[in-house]
A and B are shown apart, each in its own frame.
Chain A
C-alpha cells in the first residue's frame, strides 16, 4: 500500500465532491436542517391541547374546575358545546382533541359530599398524545379534588408521597434526547447517501475501467475514497454538537475527545458498509434503495433514536442487537447527558472497533477491479 497513491485517490474523490454542489449541500446543510427541525419544530412534548367543554352545570364550582385546566397551561379551549352529540363531528374534523363534560348537578353533588364525576372524552386515534392528555387531565382533577376535600376536612396525617427526580435530562425535553442521537443518524445518512454512490457511479459511468488501468490496489481505492467522507462526517459531528449545545442548550457533560474517538470508529464502519453496498449493487438506483433500508432506516427506527427498544416485540429487539447505531447511541447519549467515561463504555468500544474492522473488511474483500 502506497500512501501517495492512497492520497491521490482521496484527492480525486475530494475534487469530484467539490464540484458536486448538491452532495456538499446535503453533507453540511442536512445536519443543520435536522437540528433546527428537531430543536424548534417537532417534539413529543404535548402542549396546546385543543379542548372543548360541555358545562352542563354552569356553576361556580364547574367554572373553577375549568379554570384549573386552563391554568395548567397544557389545554387551549377552542369550543363550548351545548350537546354531547357535537363531539363526534369535532373529532371527525380533527378540530378538537379532548372534550371535557361536566354533568348537571356537579356542584350539588360536591356540596352534598357525594362523589361527583367528570368525563374526559379523548380522540384516541393518536394514542401517544391521547395517553398524555388523559394523564394530565387525571392529575389536574386529582389535585383539584384533594383541594376541595381539604377545604372541608382537617388535614390528615402523613400520606404516602412520591418524590420523582429525573436525572440527565431534568426538564424531560425531547431535544436533549434527540440531538445526541442525531450525531449517529447523520453519520448513517452520509454513509448511505454519499458513499453508497461512489463505486456504483464509477461502474455506471464507465470510469471504473480507467481506475482499473491504474496501478492502485483495492485497499488504496477503498481507503482513498473513504477519507474525504471521513473528514466530512467528523466535521458534521463537531457542527452538530456545537450547534446543539450553543443553540439548544443540550448539556455536554462528558469528554469531547472520547466522543470524537468513538465517532471515528463508528464512521469508519458505516462508510465501509456504504461502500460495500455500492460494490454489491453496481447501479446507483439499487445502491440508494438498499442503503436506505440497510443503513439509514435502522439507524432511525431500531436504534432507540426516537423509539424505545424495550417496548418493541422480541424479534425486532433481536434485530436491533445487530444495528451498530444502537450501541453508538448509548455512547453519544452517555457522553452528552450522563457524562460517563470509557470505564462504563468498554463494551461499546470493543463493538465499535469490531464494526469498523468489519465494515472496512467487507468493502475491501468484495471490491474487484476486474471488469464485467
Chain B
C-alpha cells in the first residue's frame, strides 16, 4: 500500500464531491434538516390531548374534575358539548382524541362512573393518555391514602424527556444514511461513466482504491457527526456524560461497517439507480430494527437475535450510553468489538468483490 497514491485518490474524490454545489448542500445541509426534524418530531411524550367534555351534572364536583384535567397539562379541554353524540362526531372527524362524560348525580354520589372515550387510532398516544386520565379521575375520589405507596425514580433522565433519548440516536441514523448512500453511489458512478476502467489501469491497487474511495466519506461522516453533536449539545441541550474519545472511537468503528456496506452494495450494482434502491432496501430495515424508534426489547426473540447483525443497533447503544449514562469502556466493549468485527468483515468482502471485477 502506497500512502501517496491513496492520498491522491482521496484528493480526487474530494474535488469531485465539492465541485457540485448541490451535492455540497446535500452533505452538510440535509443532515441539519434531518436532525431538526427528527429531534423535534420523534417524540412520544403526551401533551395537549384534545378533549371534549359532556357534563350532565354541572356541579362543583364536575367542574373540579374538568379543571384537574386542564391543570395536569396532558389534556387541552376544547370545550363542552351537550350530547354524547357530539363526542362521536368529534372523534370521527379527529377533532378530539378524548371525550369525558360526567353522569348526572355525580356530585351527590348517585352515579360516580365517569366515562372516558378514546380515539385509539394512535395507539401509543391513546395508551399513555388513558393512564393519565384514569389517574386524574381517581385522584378526585376521596379515597383514604393507599397503604402501599410506590416511589418511582428515573435514573439518567429524571424528567423522562424522550428527546434526550432520541437525538443522540439521530447521529447514528444520519451517519448510516449518508455513508451508505454516498459510498454506494460514488463507485457506481465511476462505473456508469466509464471512468472506473481508467482507475483500474492506473497503478492503484484494489485495497488503495477502496481506501481512497471510502476515506473521504469517512471524513465527511466524522465532520457530520461533529456538526450533529454540536447541535445536539448547544441547541437541544442534551447532556453528554461520557468520554468524547470513546464517541470518536465508536464512530470510526461504525463508519467501517457503514462504508463497507456501501461499497459492497456498489460492487453488486451496475447503475446508480440499482445502487440507490439497494441502499434503501438495506437502510430501512436497518433503521427499524436498530432500536432507534422501536425498542429492541419489545421485539420477538427471533428478531432480537437478528438485530445483533445490525451495526446500527450496536452503535446506538454506544451513543446513548455515552450521552445519557456516561458509561465507560467496561460497559461498552462488547458493542465496540462487534462493530470492529463487522467492519473488518464487510470491508474485506467488498475488497474481494472488487478484485474479482
Q: Which residues of A contact B (CB under 8 A)?
A: 20, 22-23, 25-26, 29-30, 33-34, 37-38, 40-50, 65, 88, 91-94, 97, 110, 113, 115-132, 134-135, 137-139, 141-142, 144-146, 148-149, 157-170, 172-174, 176-177, 189, 193, 197, 201, 204, 281, 283-286, 288-290, 292-293, 297-298, 301-302, 304, 306-308, 310-313, 316, 330, 333-334, 337-338, 340, 344
Q: Is the CB–CB distance between B273 and A160 below 8 Å?
A: no
Say yes or no: is B22 at the interface (Cβ < 8 Å to chain A). Answer: yes
Residue B72 interfacial (CB < 8 Å): no
Q: How far is the CA of A124 from the CA of B158 in the complex (A)?
A: 7
Asked if residues A285 and B123 are in contact (CB atoms below 8 Å), the reply is no
B278 at the interface (CB under 8 A from A): yes
Asked if A302 contacts B41 (CB within 8 A), the reply is: yes
If the complex has contacts A162-B114, A285-B23, are A93 and B331 also in contact, measured as CB distance less than 8 A? yes
- Does B324 contact A125, Cβ atoms closer than 8 Å? yes
Would A122 and B141 be within 8 Å (CB), given that A166-B120, A301-B38, A306-B293 are in contact?
no
Given contacts A45-B298, A149-B144, A162-B138, contact A312 B91 (CB under 8 A): no
Query: A residues within 8 A CB of B231?
Result: none
Chain B residue with Cβ nearest A44: B124
Q: Is A22 a contact of B273 with CB atoms below 8 Å?
A: yes
B288 touches A162 (CB 8 A): no
Q: Which residue of B lies closest to A144 (CB)?
A: B148
- Whether a CB of chain A sits under 8 angstroms from the CB of B94 is yes
User: Is there contact, CB below 8 Å, between A289 and B277?
Assistant: no
Please state if A340 and B157 are interface contacts (CB–CB under 8 Å).
no
Counting CB contacts under 8 A, is B229 at the interface? no
Chain B, range 22-76, C-beta contacts under 8 Å to A: 22-23, 26, 30, 33-34, 37-38, 40-50
- Central interface residue in A30, A137, A158, A310, by most chain B CB within 10 Å: A310
| Cα(A312)–Cα(B158), bound, Å | 21
Chain B, range 317-331, C-beta contacts under 8 Å to A: 317, 320-321, 324-325, 327, 331
Interchain CB contact (< 8 A) of A30 among B37, B118, B145, B284:
B284
- Most chain A Cβ neighbours within 10 Å, of B42, B123, B128, B181: B123
Judge if B8 is at the interface, Cβ distance under 8 Å. Answer: no
Pair B26/A289 contact, Cβ less than 8 Å? yes
In the A-B complex, list the 8 residue pairs whose CB atoms are closest, starting with the nearest: A124-B154, A169-B120, A124-B157, A160-B141, A162-B137, A42-B294, A128-B44, A145-B148
6 contacts between A and B (CB under 8 A): A37-B288, A92-B331, A124-B158, A131-B128, A197-B276, A292-B30
Name B46's closest neighbour in chain A (CB-CB): A311
Within 8 Å by CB of A40, from B115, B144, B284, B303, lies B303
Is residue B13 contacting chain A, with contact meaning CB distance below 8 A? no
CB-defined contacts of A166 to chain B, threshold 8 Å: 117-118, 120, 126, 130
Tell whether, in the assembled complex, residue A46 and residue B109 are in contact, meaning their CB atoms are under 8 Å apart: no
**Distance between Cα atoms of A162 and B139 in the complex (Å):** 11
Given known contacts A93-B331, A172-B123, A312-B41, is B22 in contact with A46 (CB within 8 Å)?
no
The CA of A182 and the CA of B41, in the complex, are separated in Å by 18
Which residues of A have CB within 8 Å of B46?
308, 311
When the two chains form their complex, are residues A137 and B152 in contact, meaning their CB atoms are under 8 A apart?
yes
Cβ-defined partner of B297 (8 Å) among A65, A97, A201, A338: A97
Q: A166-B130, A176-B120, A284-B273 are in contact. List 20 more A-B contacts (CB 8 A).
A: A20-B273, A33-B284, A37-B288, A42-B288, A43-B298, A46-B295, A91-B325, A93-B331, A116-B149, A124-B156, A127-B44, A137-B152, A141-B146, A157-B109, A159-B141, A162-B133, A165-B115, A286-B20, A310-B125, A340-B92
Point out the residue from B91, B94, B272 that lies within 8 Å of A330, measured CB to CB.
Answer: B94
Tell me which of A121, A131, A304, A334 contacts B122 (CB under 8 A): A304
Whether the Cβ atoms of B156 and A160 lie closer than 8 Å is no
A173 to B120, CA, bound (A): 9
- Stretch of B161-169, B198-206, B339-347 lying at the A interface: B161-169
User: B190: CB under 8 A from chain A?
Assistant: no
B234 beta carbon closer than 8 Å to chain A: no
Are A22 and B278 closer than 8 Å at their CB atoms? yes
Interface string of B280-300 (1 = CB under 8 A from A): 110011001100011101111
Assembled-state Cα–Cα distance A161/B294 (Å): 33
Chain B hits for A298, CB < 8 A: 37
A127 contact from B161, B288, B299, Cβ within 8 A: B161
Name the one of A122, A149, A163 contacting B115, with C-beta atoms under 8 angstroms: A163
Q: Contact at B138–A160, with CB atoms within 8 Å?
A: yes
Contacts of B86 in A (CB 8 A): none
B235: chain A residues within 8 A (beta carbon): none
Q: Are A34 and B160 in contact (CB under 8 A)?
A: no
**Of A48, A167, A172, which contacts B127 at CB under 8 A?**
A172
Within 8 Å CB of A137, what residues of B? 150, 152
Q: How far is the CB of A249 from chain B (nearest CB, A)?
A: 14
B148 touches A117 (CB 8 A): yes
The answer on a CB contact under 8 Å between A283 and B20 is: yes
Map CB proximity to A onto B162-197 as digits: 1 under 8 Å, 0 otherwise.
101100000000000100011001000100100000
Closest residue of chain B to A315 (Cβ to Cβ) is B40
Closest to B328 in A: A92
A46 touches B298 (CB 8 A): yes
**Partner of A41 from B34, B91, B130, B289 at Cβ < 8 Å:** B289
